[in-house]
Amino acid sequence: MITTAPFPSDLDIARSVRPRPITDVARDLGLREDEVEPYGTTKAKVTLEGLRRVETANQRGKYVVVTAISPTPLGEGKSTTTVGLAQGLNRIGRRATVTIRQPSLGPVFGIKGGAAGGGYSQIIPMEDFNLHLTGDVHAIGAAHNLAAAFIDNHIHHGNALSIDPNGVLWPRVVDISDRALRHAVVGLGGRENGLPRETEWVITVASEVMAVLALASDLQDLRARLGRIVLAMRRDGSPVTAEELQVAGAMTVLLRDALKPNLLQTLEGGPAFVHCGPFGNIAHGNSSVLADRVALATSEIVVTEAGFGADMGAEKFFDIKCRASGLRPDAAVLVATVRALKMHGGVGRIVAGKPLDPALLEDNPDAVRAGGANLTAQIANVQTFNVPVVVAINTFPTDTPAEIEAIREVALAAGARDAVVARHFTDGGAGAEELATAVWEAAATGAPDFALLYPDDASITDKIETIAVRIYGADGVDFLPAAAKAIDRFEALGFGHLPICMAKTQYSLSHDPKLLGRPRGFRVPIREVRLAAGAGFLTPIAGDMRTMPGLNSRPGGERIDVDADGNVVGLF
């Protein structure tokens, strides 16, 4: 009887590789010793002075964004593909760098687990990546909560700015999933403990400060953006900013080191920047502009990741991140899996934390083709921006040749430049060489006609409707009274020029997670619109978006521990 050894865990694979000294990785990028600030031997920060020097000295590399079809709750391996593609590009002789988001501790200790990639396409050290790294998220939380404390303190000490206690917009944050904090009352216990009022806690990655850090171009831009954050409204309806509350400077001081991009490495020793992690639903779901700039100035090609499907992360990458940075993409990679397309085709149900539905393991190319309508729509979404698309077919052992071929047929018929099978999870960079070749060819051609979806001077309602109709496939938008009132107020206050950061479910092209495939005949309801003046966007809310996740009945943190030697165990 032939037995197959179980595939090693991500943590076991990560520990099987001895990382290169991070100073050697930095040296390969052309960074000088005084431009790198090591945190131990396996991770470091890159100074902004170093960024400015390499940008002046070098030409910009190719810029590739990795996106996906509408994912299942299990995800479709976008981070793994991002890392594997960079490893593959390095294997075919191209100097490639990864730029990727840092995960929140909430999902790490919740149901999702880590986000450093998977299998033989990971960023290491895996434990550091998923836990505290260099402390950036904690600095963001401290800066955010400092502003929250200043607001309540200002009200307590006379309220010279005439802040409406019911008009405080700024929540508090914590980077742990905790549903009990979604709705709370502060200021209880008498006069000396503040004014009682309702508020909420959100997870730190949903903080506007995180989005600000991810979009800032330098320290002074960070300072200016923090100053523009609207914390509350006065009784007369005018906004109160962090600058007016005189807290923006102190917030900047707390974030001075967090602004510097973090340098790590892939399992195969290639460079990887891990910096910022804005929430993919409420914020723009992309890693930092600064990390991309360092990578582009030191590499032939940069592979970055945009959160969720092309209707979410990629649209925000183009319309928010590229608009803010001035950088222009050369190509996009769209990740698809057999299991997800089957689900979009009406077969099986995928629930995080539970075994895969047996129906999804049966050979069914017809279901793949039916679900391919979602793939077709997401390819069209990227092509709307005139960016060439290569489809990465992220394979699993249960996928059949007929099902894989069905994905290729759908992708090529939809206008993808290529659709390539990728086995980077099991084979690392070697399993992504064919994908790397296709992506390099697409990026070499580039996107000379790249265009944003809407101009700055379009009205807020026109921008929202453009996204809903052209990207989601909706028949139109219904603005609920609260949303319409907010739009009128923001336009009157001079915020109408800001881009749109839509908040909706990631599981459907629509606002309704139950509408799979390529839904038709729906309208998008906008129940409210929020302002992120510091980050520089408006956030319309479609459906019920939670900014504070909850832990499930058996959270992943139950498995995480240290062994007798002090090593972390249980991360996945």
Question: Are 234 and 324 in a shared domain?
Answer: no
8 Å CB contact between 229 and 147: yes
Are 212 and 239 within one domain?
yes
Structure tokens at 308: 């969720």
Amino acid symbol at 268: E
CB 316 within 8 A of CB 334: no
**pLDDT at residue 27, rounded to an integer:** 97
Q: What are the CB-based long-range contacts (under 8 Å, 24+) for 475-478?
A: 475/521, 475/522, 475/523, 476/523, 476/524, 477/523, 477/524, 477/525, 477/526, 478/523, 478/524, 478/525, 478/526
For residue 280, give its domain range.
Answer: 28-103+258-445
Residue 8 lies in a domain: no
Question: 280 and 330 share a domain?
Answer: yes
DSSP state of 9: P
Distance of CA 431 to the CA centre of its chain: 25
Do 232 and 267 sit in the same domain of this protein? no
Whether residue 316 sits in one domain with residue 229: no
Contacts with 511 (C-beta within 8 Å, 6 or more apart), sequence order:
472, 504, 505, 522, 524, 525, 542, 543
For residues 469 and 435, membership in a common domain is answered with no
pLDDT at 4: 53
Do residue 241 and residue 264 come from a single domain? no
Last residue of a domain, one of 422, 445, 468: 445
Contacts of 282 (CB under 8 A, 6+ apart): 206, 501, 503, 539, 545, 547
**CATH value at residue 244:** 3.30.1510.10
391 and 371 within one domain: yes
CB-based contacts of 557: which residues, under 8 Å, 6+ apart? 108, 109, 110, 551
pLDDT of residue 483: 97
Low pLDDT (below 50) residues in the chain: 1-3
CA–CA separation, 363 vs 378, rounded Å? 24
- Give CA angle at 545 (391, 526), nearest 5°: 90
Tell me whether residue 557 is in a domain. Answer: no
pTM of the model: 0.94
Count of structural domains, the chain: 3
| 439 and 468, same domain (yes or no) | no
- The Cα–Cα gap between 305 and 285 comes to 9
Determine if residue 444 is left, alpha or beta; phi over 0 gives left, psi from -120 to 50 gives alpha, anything else beta: alpha
Verify that 438 and 304 share a domain, yes or no. yes
User: ∠492-496-498 over CA atoms, to 5°?
Assistant: 145
Q: How many CB atoms lie within 10 A of CB 1?
A: 2
Question: Bridge partners of 389?
Answer: 332
pLDDT digits (tens, 9 = 90+) for 251-285: 999 999 999 999 999 999 999 999 999 988 788 89
H or E segment to which residue 138 belongs? helix 136-156
